[in-house]
A and B are shown apart, each in its own frame.
Chain A
Amino acid sequence: MVVEQQLLPYFQWLLTGGEKSLGALPSFAFVFLGVAMAALVIGFAIAASRYGFLRGGDVTYKTISEGLRELLQTSPRRVWAIARLAIKESLRRRVAVALGVFFLVLLFANWFLSTNHQEPARLYLSFVLTASTYLVLGVALLLSAFSLPGDFKTKTIYTVVTKPVRAGEIILGRIIGFMIVITVLLAIMGVGSYIFVVRSLDHSHTVELESFQVVANPAGEEVGKKGTTSRDAGHRHELTLDKDGNGETTVENGHTHRIESLGENKYRVSPPLGFIRARVPQYGKLRFIDRSGAAKDTGISVGSEWTYRSFIDGNTPATAIWTFDNVSDAVDPNVPEDERSLPLSLIVRVFKTHKGVIGQALQGTIQLRNPDPAANGLTSEPLSFDAQDQQVDDFNIPRKQYSQSRQEIDLFKDLVSKDGKIEVLVKCLDRGQYFGFAQADCYIRHPDGSPIASFAKVCVSIWVQAVIVVSVGVTISTLVSGPVAMLFVVGFIILGFWRQDFVDIATGKSYGGGPAESVVRIATQANVMVQLEDTLLNNLVTGFDKYFAKPIMWAVAQTLPDFRSFSTVRYAADGYNVPWDRVFQDVTVCLGYVVGLSIIGYFLLRTREVAK
């Protein structure tokens, strides 16, 4: 799975942030202050233009102080009344249709989703979860953007605001009401999706008795059987049975089956196992040694534009080195102590410059090394493996290892340093071929989490996105009509999705300049790399971008959520557990938006003429 940004532990994320980022709480405070100042200035400007300078100041002051007072008078009963109304309104506006659409989509999905695929679970999971995301976001958008404008249009808002209900309660109640609707929708869709995936991938095999071969030990006693299963759902498994006729199949298309003997050549094959997984990786830190043996932060580029992975050359000293912290033999405490191993997973991106030997996989090696200087670079014997492009390769490296001078060593005692660190060295053996790695491509594999829990966490991340959409929709719809509010929210989602690119333009990281310069480039057909001529017009345009457009873009970007990072669909699709830190961070961000937008919504609703 691609992990571009390391996930920080929750409290570090909240308070202090990472190396290049600020903590979430301080950032929130800064953005909040920034928005508050901007709102104050704009609010005062409008009031002053309407009532004059002094009276405008007075009005502004009164609005704010009254706002603070009314905040304290918020009544849960009134908020709940509005929330109930929002729920009833949603039902009247037939949100249930969304569920109908969803199940219809699932019905037809089987037509174009195929189980005869290398990883059908990835296909199915990403499909159903993406479909749920779009549907729920669509519902959130429509419900929130048209709710308040509807009340203005039918003038029902007149009878509401002439009750003691506070403007903030009208906003917050709506957000909560729609949040509940979305929670229910998502719960139904989630359960439906899960059942759909499990049922769609479900299949069984029979055991092909004629393929059976006896497996004997060197003494000639029968220890089990080998054979294959029948071909079903586009694949067959090989199987190994023990003396009693029980056993397991090989992994095909991302799953296995368990086989149980029923006596007299009758076998029961279990439903597929391991389709939906929740791997729990522990990531390390990656560095490289290049072909001349020099240390590097990155490997070499093989020309692909995306710099996420970098490559090592085969049959040279080039090595990818991961350093892991907190390594102990207690990764899986259920295993007896002397049988414990280091569960390591590796994903290799294979880049071939020549065909090599047809039908034979590229070879690589894994070695373990003690990073403690006192250990003098004690390294284990290389363990070779077949590299399959983009496949997760699971190793269990036994604790009994040999040093390069063929002495028996213990993985956890000798190769792990005192402070719990270990280095994993990976090389490519084939000359002229390359292995590509990113930091997240090698990890210590903790016991799998519950797939259902992980799936539920993905649903929470969809929920977070929907709630943010609802908050934005309700807030902006205090000011504009339904269709305009909808366009605004769509713009918000799109900008949020491309937030990073937006910031890159604002900070001058991307080529081609700001919006005005882009217009000039489009008009004059100058591509982004061409130097613009030094004319007055061009200088004016770039100056406009630099001193006006880009600062505004930067400021706007600060308030945008990074929608792309909310999506945890790929965790489920790739079979990884969604970390709790991720869930808590997303829910916290969501809460921040609900609070911030409710406050903005309060002032927008409070300062507008309801009967306009």
Chain B
Amino acid sequence: MSEEIILQTRALSKVYRDFWGRQKVRALKGLDLEVRRGEVFGLLGPNGSGKTTTIKLLLGLLFPTEGEALVFGKPASDVAKNERLGYLPEESYLYRFLTADETLDFYGRLFDMPSDVRRQRIDELIEMVGLQKARKRQLQEYSKGMTRRIGLAQALINDPELIMLDEPTSGLDPIGTREMKDMILRLKDEGKTIVMCSHLLADVQDVCDRIAILHQGELKELGRVDELLKVADVTQIRAKNLSVDCQRELRDVISRHHGELVSLDNPTTTLEELFLEIVRDSEARPGRRAGVK
């Protein structure tokens, strides 16, 4: 992970208004984020907490009410940033009357890719998401999982540096979920920067380097996953092949720093516990949580 900042928000706020300009929902309140090259960054939060809103603001699909969103150092409304970006929406918003091939071909053309490059890239992607058998079928015949895969393929057509995934595993079965996560980790290995949002804790825990927890449009927690889950005042020791004697002498051994120390670290709580705690805490005391700068 380098220090280069790929994505940045400064006091980003969004108020949804109705037709008459009256305030309807404050979906995002003063969000400050930075994502660096090579990171997998997770936006976590319950339904309606403003995750999708954040992603849309970063893509320029929405205009901020206040603050600004910068992608590759440029304002999010700049079309040129899209050259290096891939986006998988919440649901795959694709043309249902196109086949998988036609879909990828269409989006490839939008990147001004020459036809031979396009053909090759389409073959790679179809194989990568495992849709070889269905590539000539219209998307309206696709199952939810297949739609998700073609959606991902579509997001990767330009071999993007930055990939934004909105609920990538939603609607997928456990196998599909596992495959999606593997895919994300593979993309991370290729050096891509990934921003994903999810309300599913397991997704985020498995693949993200850093996470931000949003609740009711406010940032509640921000940090490395491993650090966030560390419980500081408890020590946990794990060892194996200890005889009963040895176990009995364990305290002595440790106190004298002999013996085979297999593990000595802080136990982690599960993300689920942390998450529920934050939500409970936030509901009891609205506003910014202590500890988040």
Contact = CB atoms under 8 A, between A and B. Distances in A.
A169 to B, nearest CB: 9
Interface stretch (A85-93, A250-258, A296-304): A85-93
Interface string A452-489: 00000000000000000000000000000000000000
B79 A166 contact: yes
A155 B92 CA distance: 9
A159 B93 contact: yes
B106 A158 contact: no
B72 interface: no
Interface string A70-94: 1000010110110011001100100
Nearest 10 A-B pairs (CB), nearest first? A81-B109, A611-B61, A163-B110, A155-B93, A92-B97, A164-B82, A162-B87, A165-B110, A610-B61, A156-B93
Given A159-B94, A164-B79, 5 more contacts: A85-B95, A158-B89, A162-B85, A163-B82, A163-B158
B137 to A, nearest CB: 15
Most chain A CB atoms below 10 A, which of B79, B83, B85, B154: B79
B142 interface: no
A612 B18 CA distance: 10
Interface residues of A, number: 30
B98 interface: yes
11 contacts: A66-B78, A77-B112, A78-B110, A81-B106, A88-B95, A88-B97, A88-B98, A159-B87, A163-B111, A164-B82, A609-B62
Main secondary structure of the interface of B (DSSP, over half): loop
Interface in A158-174: 158-167
A165 B80 CA distance: 9
A62 to B, nearest CB: 9
B222 interface: no
B103 to A, nearest CB: 9
A167 B60 CA distance: 13
A120 to B, nearest CB: 44
B132 to A, nearest CB: 22
B109 A159 contact: no
Nearest to B115: A77
B61 A161 contact: yes
Nearest to A93: B97
A163 B80 contact: no
B275 interface: no
Nearest to B88: A159
A80 B114 CA distance: 13
A592 B105 CA distance: 32
Contacts of B91: 155
B93 A158 contact: yes
Given A70-B79, A89-B97, A164 B111 contact: yes
A611 B62 contact: yes
Most chain B CB atoms below 10 A, which of A85, A89, A163, A166: A163
Contact of B112 (A70, A157, A158, A164): A164
Interface in B95-141: 95-98, 102, 106-107, 109-112
B82 A80 contact: no
A170 to B, nearest CB: 10
B109 to A, nearest CB: 3
Interface of B: 56, 59-63, 78-80, 82-83, 85, 87, 89, 91-98, 102, 106-107, 109-112, 154, 158
A531 interface: no
B59 A162 contact: yes
B61 A154 contact: no
Given A156-B93, A156-B95, A611 B109 contact: no
Interface string A133-170: 00000000000000000000011111111111111000
B50 to A, nearest CB: 13
Nearest to B56: A611
B32 to A, nearest CB: 21
A156 B94 contact: yes
A609 B16 CA distance: 11
A85 B110 CA distance: 11
A84 B59 contact: no
Interface in A562-611: 609-611
B15 to A, nearest CB: 12
B61 A78 contact: no
Contacts of B85: 162
Nearest to A85: B106
Nearest to A159: B93
Contacts of B96: 154
A300 B151 CA distance: 76
Given A609-B62, A609-B63, A155 B89 contact: yes
Nearest to B114: A77
Contacts of B107: 159, 163
Interface string A207-238: 00000000000000000000000000000000
A157 B62 CA distance: 13
B109 A78 contact: yes
Interface in A162-216: 162-167
Contacts of B89: 155, 158-159
A164 B97 contact: no
Contacts of B56: 611
A611 B79 CA distance: 15
Contacts of B82: 162-164
B26 to A, nearest CB: 16
A92 B94 CA distance: 15
B62 A81 contact: no
Contacts of A78: 109-110, 112
Contacts of A80: 109
Most chain B CB atoms below 10 A, which of A80, A88, A162: A162
Nearest to A81: B109
Contacts of A161: 60-61
Contacts of A88: 95, 97-98, 102
A81 B114 CA distance: 12
Contacts of B63: 609
B164 to A, nearest CB: 9
Contacts of B112: 75, 77-78, 164
A609 B82 CA distance: 16
A92 B85 CA distance: 30
Nearest to B164: A162
Contacts of B97: 88-89, 92
A164 B110 contact: yes
Most chain A CB atoms below 10 A, which of B56, B82, B98, B109: B109
A413 B211 CA distance: 99
Contacts of B102: 88
Contacts of A164: 79-80, 82-83, 110-112
A347 B284 CA distance: 93
Nearest to B53: A611
Nearest to B87: A162
A601 to B, nearest CB: 15
Contact of A158 (B61, B80, B98, B158): B61
A535 B61 CA distance: 54
A159 B61 contact: no
Nearest to B108: A81
B49 to A, nearest CB: 17
A84 B60 CA distance: 26
A158 B94 CA distance: 9
Contacts of A89: 95, 97
Contacts of B158: 163
A163 B105 CA distance: 13
B215 to A, nearest CB: 22
Contacts of B109: 77-78, 80-81, 84
A537 B92 CA distance: 59
A303 B154 CA distance: 72
B13 to A, nearest CB: 13
A159 B154 contact: yes
Contacts of A611: 56, 61-62
A543 B259 CA distance: 102
A102 B85 CA distance: 47
